[in-house]
Amino acid sequence: MKRIILYVIIFLSCNASFAQDSIEYTFDKELDRAIRLHLEKQLASDQSSKFFLRMSTVNSEKRCGNYQLFIGTYKDRPLDFIFEIISKSTRFYSFNSMRIPICFDYDFQFIGYGSGKRGITRKGYTGTDYVIEFSSSGKIIRTGI
């Protein structure tokens, strides 16, 4: 009997350690307001819009230490390699009743490889997403496309 209880405890602890829960992101009030404002504006013009958020750090001398949040919009389905990333993401942002997936620039850097005439080619993502640049304290630096 003790052995069975021990096996059950080991099984449950191993099973729980492999399960990955979703991570809900929350942002500073000013940044959250800017995100919500853009999403509401997009939905007002087209109710069928779907979104994903892409986050990155700014790597320039003048703006080092800032972050960028890109709001990607699509209707039916984005490019296959983007869909692969956002459909598997466990990170999300809640907006109304929607769970908007969040991904990072690193997620895009090593995906979408294929064969070309000279060997391996990488598919890049150059979407025209709405961007919100903000500081580490949450202050919005700039917004726009």
Cβ atoms of 100 and 87 within 8 Å: the answer is no
Q: How many residues does the chain have?
A: 145
Q: Rounded to 5 degrees, what are φ and ψ at 53?
A: -110, 140
65-110 pLDDT, tens digit per residue, is 889 999 988 776 666 667 778 888 899 999 999 999 999 887 777 6
Model pTM? 0.72
